[in-house]
Amino acid sequence: MAGNGTIVTEFVLMGFQLRAELQMTLFFVFLILYLITIGGNLGMILLIQSDPHLQTPMYFFLSQLSILDICYSSVIIPQLLETLAIDKTVITYECCATQFFFFTLYASTECFLLAVMAYDRYVAVCNPLLYATTMTPQTRLGLVGGAYAGAMINSMVHTGCTFSLSFCKSNHLDFFFCDLPPLLKLACSETKPQERVIYLLAFLVITTSISVILISYLFIIRAILRIRTAGGKAKTFSTCTSHMTAVALFFGTLIFMYLKGNVGTSLWEDKIVSVFYTVVIPMLNPMVYSLRNKEVKGALKKAFNRMKVSQVK
């Protein structure tokens, strides 16, 4: 443990601090969830690349979301598994800052990418005749590149503000990865100026993304209501429901975690919510898009049929 005059050069991740048998049970649970996450998202990417019917802007963005979910979960879950396996994990100051940077980068990129996907649905539903000319390959790459660029700026500022603080109260981080709330609790310098910048940026990223999503879906709903046939309404709405589900899951947990501030909060609450958006949501996304999307389900059936035919031969 660091004393009052000692500068922290490494952190001890305390994890969940449960009994040994519960720790090992959680280890295997999270390992299985991680393998499902990697397999499901890789499967989604390969399915989109291999099926000609899925070579559209919507599925291009979905494949980018799957890539993000693989990177996002891989920044956190291996560290979580190590902490569960050996109870406590020592992580250097530099590695902690690096993990924090990439975690913030991928989380911010996912915010922007979900907004881009909502805009894509708006163009597809409200301006279908202009969809192909609007969502060109150059436009798609530009939108994804813009999402990463905005996230990079946000991540650099977040990391700079957080690790400009002095950590000398203790080096025992009561969490399973280097996240903002537990790091702020270890700071012995004044945190208010950095917190203002960090939470203002988090507010801007989340509210900007949500605003684009809400405005896009207001126009989409208006367009759907103008469709005369019930079948046409159902078909159009079905292409949006999976995205709306992913948006609700991801932003709901982020809002709870980062826009509630750092006063009077329980780290156990933070741990549970963090497990949800770092472990569960990346695993659920491919399931949400495959189970609620007729085109993806059709592509999966064709892929399974091809596998059966190849086995027979």
Domains and CATH numbers, the chain: 10-295 (1.20.1070.10)
User: What's residue 258's pLDDT?
Assistant: 63
**Both tokens assigned to 219:** 């126009």
CA distance 299 to 87: 43
Structure tokens at 206: 């989340």
Residue 188: CB atoms within 10 Å: 16
Q: Which pLDDT score is estimated for 68?
A: 94
Which pairs from 197-203 meet CB under 8 Å and 24+ separation? 197/157, 197/161, 198/157, 198/158, 198/161, 198/162, 199/258, 199/259, 199/261, 201/154, 201/157, 201/158, 202/158, 202/258, 202/259, 203/259
Provide the pLDDT for residue 5. 47
Angle at 63 between CA 235 and CA 46, to 5 degrees: 100
The pLDDT value recorded for residue 238 is 67
For the chain, list residues with pLDDT below 70: 1-6, 230-239, 257-266, 291-293, 307-313
Predicted pLDDT of residue 139: 95
Note the pLDDT of residue 276: 86
The per-residue pLDDT for 226 is 81
pLDDT, tens digit, 9 for 90 and up, residues 200-219: 998 899 899 999 999 999 99
User: Whole-angstrom Cα distance, residue 102 to residue 76?
Assistant: 10
